[in-house]
């Protein structure tokens, strides 16, 4: 099992899309291992987006992510990083495939609804920023036997 960070950004929260987006992950068979609604402190935003510091869009990105609450989630499943990225779609909503979260709900590149870790290494780093270890619940979901063939695990 792999765990990844998913952030529902301020535009997703303000547009009332938390339920439909969470439902996509659950319908796929992924498990929510942690969740918290929060206003992002500037220092956390800067640490999260440190790799983009100095880029032209950095200041706007920090302003956006701190402008309104976000829902931070730890989502678990087999190949969770890759599966979540596929569900999310490409960065720009107008270019994202229909059926993806951004393809169905987004039109913008900057207001793109959701963040998902891009690798298992990024997921580990980002999860450490957003959650304490005891925030993430490790449990045996009863749905696993109906989602995964035993050879998947």
Which are the catalytic amino acids? 115
Residues 6+ apart with CB under 8 A from 132: none
Here the contacts of 21-27 (C-beta below 8 Å, separation 24 or greater) are 21/101, 21/105, 21/113, 21/114, 22/73, 24/87, 24/101, 25/73, 25/75, 25/84, 25/87
Q: Are 48 and 107 in contact (CB under 8 A)?
A: no
């Amino acid at each position: 099992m792999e765990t990844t960070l998913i952030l529902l950004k301020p535009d997703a929260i303000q547009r009332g899309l938390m339920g439909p987006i969470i439902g996509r992950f659950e319908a796929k068979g992924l498990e929510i291992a942690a969740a918290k609604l929060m206003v992002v402190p500037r220092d956390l935003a800067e640490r999260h987006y440190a790799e983009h510091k100095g880029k032209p869009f950095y200041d706007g990105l920090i302003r956006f992510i701190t402008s309104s609450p976000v829902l931070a989630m730890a989502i678990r499943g087999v190949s969770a990083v890759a599966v979540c990225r596929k569900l999310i779609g490409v960065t720009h909503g107008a270019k994202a495939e229909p059926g993806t979260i951004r393809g169905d709900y987004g039109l913008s590149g900057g207001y793109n609804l959701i963040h998902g870790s891009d690798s298992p290494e990024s997921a580990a780093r980002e999860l450490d920023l957003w959650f304490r270890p005891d925030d993430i619940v490790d449990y045996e979901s009863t749905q696993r036997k109906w989602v995964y063939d035993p050879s998947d695990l």
